[in-house]
Structure 1
């Protein structure tokens, strides 16, 4: 394993003692589990997962099985962030369809139980891989994992959201426009310094949205470390972290994921963009990956991706700035969150360059 791969895998994998800032009344939770989770039997041991910056996530271990609890963090929160109730709703809709998500049990909106809203789902045993370059794998294995990943993504965008019972989960149409508005608001609420490129993008992006938008379920943050792979097979057995999911433009969702092919790593993990010969290495080229997605969805091609790259980098800059704001307000749940501050101008510059490719005046 590479040093980078080892450090990322080690830094984010597994569990730790519950952080002091996220401690809660475990007896209350035990009582709630007894009343609301089918088949639950104690005793119960609580650990906190190391990975994940937004919603603190806990492993609940009992003699017979393990569960996962995701809760809103305590403290001052941005209005639309940490929507664990929305996460629960989409998992609850997808699970009966056979889409790979953990089995959901119940949502608790009563803040008296652990202090904030939370939900509980099955703990799925498998592999979470933190380095997208897959340093531990052979070329054929890498390709198989990437094929499973893109097919699972296309399958999500192929789900009939009305039949899945997700009417009202998001507004139909104008997704990109609404997202630009939302993330502009989050960015300005969390702003700690002026970034000229962000201000220019805030003006240009909403005026230049590509036509022909369709509506599907979108994940919002689909990437390798937000899924659990089968322990031995190249198969996605659970997609995680649905906090940003809604109804929206599948191409915005897919092109966000595609940015892995053009963006450098920001945290010491390997980056696809640094691999000189993807074909020999086993990871599909961006063009191949787009083709796999289009085939699975029955699309002839994707429109020009530069606009979408600009939009997605802008959105990611706003998300990172939101984390910086949470550090400032004392509510961030990951020790690495302060490193986000350096990412914001880099993402703003990347978005600005892509917007110029898409026709924005310099």
Structure 2
């Protein structure tokens, strides 16, 4: 069990959770779970085994607008009852007597989480092949939402998404970088030159990958897609690009990315793109831009994780300290994607 004493006032939180009237019976035990390097996730288990999940921002000093758990609460609440598989929302704790930061509380979703390569190897070969397609289907459900109907039309800007992303994440790099990285600066310039310009305005999850879904352990259908802190409005192909960025396959340059998708039987990136085109009906010719942008963003996110870990070692998790080469490898991989597209 991981220490939660610095992330939660467990006594005060236990009393607050019991006030939700969801049937929790004391005592309530708390455990930090998952490998998340951003918002921290906890499991609360009561005396009869009922479970709830909580998320709070990371410890230490945060960049402005980052790790907005209250915003994540708004998004998940808006998606209740839609075709998008998400956990049931129970509440948002903003009581200063309980917590110094907002804490999101949702239902525990039964299923499998592919947190380790061994989890992927344990899947039936047919399930391995299916899970990527189910994740793509989940993205198409997100992208099909009527923004006005779910009340999220004002969630973010409707201006061209590529330019917004390049501007925002360049600022994040400037604020969180630990060193100069000319190859990243050159990648930023290459991406700006390939920006496809205005596109559809849809809900975009922003962090779609295997570790952010709970699946049926037998058939591998997605039961819930998690971690909505990067959700925004923009071009739906950005989510496909993010999925590809997190989807290494045999023959790729070496990176420290989670490599479950390299296990025999998993769909290839080409198969995922073809499936998305088929089920969504969208033109996917600009996918290389979004794929490379996803790798660029992932590199910047990891640099931010490195900065937080250097500033406050309490943000270390089971993955340990993120090395500089993890960022460098992703930048190199993004250049390869653009080279192949050229």
After TM superposition, the score normalised by the length of structure 1 is 0.84
Which whole-Å deviations, capped at 9, do the CAs of 1:172-230 have from their partners, x for residues lacking one? 13122111111111111112211111122333433431135111111111111111112
94-103 or 303-312, which deviates more: 303-312
3-state SS in 1 of match to 2:203: strand
Indicate whether 1:297 and 2:270 are aligned.
no
- Structure-2 change in CA distance of 1:184 and 1:268 (3 Å): closer
Q: Structure 1 pair 203/269, CA: closer, same or farther in 2 (3 Å)?
A: closer
Cα distance, 1:120 vs structure 2: 0.5
Aligned to 1:130, which of 106, 112, 115?
A: 115
* Equivalent position SS for 1:97: coil
Q: Work out whether 1:80 is the aligned partner of 2:65.
A: yes
Q: Deviations over 1:49-79 (max 9, x none)?
A: 1421111111111134110111112321111
Q: Return the alpha-carbon distance in structure 2 between the equivalents of residues 313 and 157 of structure 1.
A: 21
**1:106–1:282 distance in 2 versus 1, CA, 3 Å:** same
Contiguous gaps of at least 5 residues in structure 2: none
Q: Does 1:250 align with 2:236?
A: yes
Give the 3-state SS of the residue equivalent to 2:214 in structure 1.
strand
1:63 maps onto 2:47 in alignment: yes
Q: Structure 1, unaligned stretches of length 5 or more?
A: 1-15, 276-280
Q: For residues 264 and 36 of structure 1, what CA distance do their matches in structure 2 show?
A: 49
C-alpha distance in 2 between matches for 1:213 and 1:246: 14
Distance 2:47 2:169 in 1: 43
Matched, 1:341 2:324: yes
Whole-angstrom distance in 2 between the partners of 1:141 and 1:50? 22
Larger CA deviation: 195-204 vs 236-245: 195-204
Partner of 1:34: 18
Q: 1:325 aligns with which of 292, 301, 307?
A: 307
> The residue matched to 2:224 in structure 1 has which SS?
strand
Give the drift of 1:264: 5.3
Q: Which moved more, 1:302-311 or 1:213-222?
A: 302-311
Question: By how many angstroms is 1:158 displaced?
Answer: 1.3
Identify the match of residue 87 of structure 2 among 99, 102, 107: 102
Alignment of 1:343-358 (within 5 A): 343-357=326-340
SS at match of 2:156: coil
Output the CA distance in 1 between the equivalents of 2:277 and 2:257: 31
- CA gap 1:63/1:252 in 2 versus in 1, 3 angstroms: same
What is the CA–CA distance in structure 1 between the aligned matches of 2:35 and 2:75, rounded to whole Å? Answer: 21
Q: Which residue of 1 aligns with 2:29?
A: 45
Q: Find the counterpart in structure 2 of residue 3 from structure 1.
A: none
Q: CA deviation at 1:90?
A: 1.3
Tell me the residue number matched to 2:267.
Answer: 284
Per the TM alignment, residue 303 of structure 1 is displaced from its structure 2 partner at its CA by: 1.1
What's the CA shift for 1:146?
A: 2.6
In terms of mean alpha carbon deviation, does 131-140 or 118-127 score higher? 131-140
TM-score (norm 2): 0.89
Deviations 1:284-329 (A, max 9, x none): 3333221211222122x30143322222221111111111111121
Q: Secondary structure at the match of 2:42?
A: strand
Provide Cα deviations, 1:102-145, integer angstroms capped at 9, x if missing partner: 10011123343122211101011110012579322333222232
Instruction: Determine helix, strand or coil for the equivalent of 1:130.
Output: coil
Change (3 A) 1:178 1:297: same
Cα pair distance change 1:97/1:267, threshold 3 Å:
same
Corresponding residue number in structure 2 for 1:270: 259
Q: Which secondary structure does the structure 2 equivalent of 1:47 belong to?
A: strand
Q: Which of 292, 308, 325 in structure 1 is aligned with 2:290?
A: 308
The separation in 1 between residues aligned to 2:159 and 2:323, in whole angstroms, is 31
Distance 1:212 1:132 in 2: 38
The correspondence for 1:121, drawn from 96, 102, 106, is 106
